[in-house]
Amino acid sequence: MAPLTEHRLVSGPVVYGLLRLVRVSPARQEALTASLAEFCRSHELQLSGVLSDREVNSGPASAAFTGLLDVLAIPDVYGVIAPAMSHLGPKAIAAERSRRIEATGSRLLLIRPARPKHPSVSRSGPARRRSPATTRVLDPES
């Protein structure tokens, strides 16, 4: 009997990481890169490289992003992975970059997706208050 697919070395979809590393310590850079690698490992993606944007005022066409668009043109590249939308740049630039990534036919995968604009409503119903009778009172000696 042949082993199951999970027991064979199978390469997953190819992705490239994008990090915005403006005034970031080497330890933080290492942690962010490790988080991309772990996410890819747990989701069966093949992280083929990580491009880093280090310029404070880099526009939508920074060297790292231009390089990213170049690798997205390679056949069989699935998409881009980033820790959060903020790694694509400030909001206006991030929106433009996201649009350009999607225009290549690639996916943009975020480890931490954007929060909803409206506060979420608790699914367990309204918050319950404890009645004063259930409050524990400590002895003054304790």
pTM of this structure: 0.72
Range of the domain at 77: 12-110
Distance CA 59, CA 7 (A): 44
Report the CATH number at residue 76: 3.40.50.1390
In a domain, 4, yes or no: no
Q: How far apart are CA 57 and CA 70, in angstroms?
A: 21
Strands (E), 3-138: 14-20, 46-53, 77-82, 107-110
Please state, in angstroms and as integers, the Cα–Cα distance from residue 24 to each residue in 14, 28, 103, following that order. Answer: 27, 6, 30
**Distance separating alpha carbons of residues 70 and 83, to the nearest angstrom:** 21
Q: Going residue by residue through the chain (142 aa), what tens digit of pLDDT does each one get?
A: 555 555 666 677 999 999 999 889 999 999 999 999 999 999 999 999 999 998 877 677 889 999 999 999 999 999 999 999 999 998 999 999 999 999 999 999 999 876 666 555 555 555 544 444 433 344 444 4
| Number of domains, the chain | 1
Q: Is there a contact between 82 and 110 (Cβ–Cβ < 8 Å)?
A: yes
Q: How many Cα atoms are found within 13 Å in the side-chain-facing hemisphere of 110?
A: 12
